[in-house]
Amino acid sequence: MSGVEVISTISAVAGIIGQSIDLYERFQKDLKLSDTLEALKGPMVLLRDTLAICARNFEEKKSHIPKELLEALEEIIEGCYEKAQELENILKKTMHGEKDGWLKRYRTAVTGRFGKGRKVEDLVKALYTDLQQIVNNDLVRSATSTRLVELKESIKKLDSLPSSLPEENIPESFNSGGGAQTNYINQGYGIQNNVNGQQNHGGTQTYHYGKDQI
């Protein structure tokens, strides 16, 4: 994946999440969604805005990003894209239809044909995990200390939410990227893939904040 492709994919993810937010705004009052689904709009807005800033910062630095780092970012960013698409698809299937039937549609959208799926709160949390790996990178750091605190606080709030499908036994853990999980430590660039919500840190990371950051 080239620098241009990285920027394009990050922008696409931000756009997809923006479309999901639009769905919320169009239907949430009429459908009377659960507290958990209602609580996800704020974290999604923070995701969208941070990803948009990331794309702009990558654009400015794309000629200086080493190939090894681009390769490390590729799996993470592609995983973000897949999760964002899955999130939007679930919300589309949930929001469109009779007002009283949204929960049944949501359950069907999540469980799918094989009885297994990922709830929207799990998808949003996984997107946050991926986003942290991007913005925490020393070379392409895209968040100020204030924004990092906001991201961490948002994750805590997500963790405290009750299940959006309390009656369903849906797996809670999944990989933040597609395929086999690999810990990337490329010449100290500090990209890690998380497995089941645990973060593996390699070496010491130094945080630098510049004027173009969030």
- Condensed to tens digits (0 to 9), the pLDDT of residues 148-198 reads 788 888 888 888 889 888 665 444 444 444 444 434 333 344 444 443 444
Q: Are 209 and 141 in contact (CB under 8 A)?
A: yes
Q: Look at residue 177 and tell me if it is in a domain.
A: no
CA 112 to chain CA mean position, Å: 21
Q: Look at residue 179 and tell me if it is in a domain.
A: no
Task: Output the pLDDT for position 67.
Answer: 84
Q: Look at residue 42 and tell me if it is in a domain.
A: yes
CA distances from 122 to 12, 21, 198 (A): 20, 16, 14
111 DSSP β-pair partners = none
Q: Look at residue 182 and tell me if it is in a domain.
A: no
Q: How confident is the model at residue 115 (pLDDT cuts 50, 70, 90)?
A: low
Task: Output the pLDDT for position 61.
Answer: 79
Nearest alpha-carbon partner for 110 in 174, 164, 34: 164
- Average pLDDT value over all residues in the chain: 76
Q: Look at residue 168 and tell me if it is in a domain.
A: no
Task: Output the pLDDT for position 97.
Answer: 80
CA angle 105-106-112, nearest 5°? 85
Tell the burial category of 204 from Cβ atoms under 10 Å away from its Cβ (0-12, 13-18, 19+): exposed
| Residue 171 exposure: Cα atoms within 13 Å on the Cβ side | 10
How many structural domains are present in the chain? 1
Q: Look at residue 97 and tell me if it is in a domain.
A: yes
Q: How confident is the model at residue 85 (pLDDT cuts 50, 70, 90)?
A: very high
Q: Look at residue 92 and tell me if it is in a domain.
A: yes
Residues spanned by the domain of 131 = 3-160
Nearest alpha-carbon partner for 37 in 49, 15, 20: 20
Q: Look at residue 210 and tell me if it is in a domain.
A: no
pLDDT in tens, 91-112: 999 988 887 788 889 999 998 7
Q: What are residue 198's phi and psi, to 5 degrees?
A: -100, 135
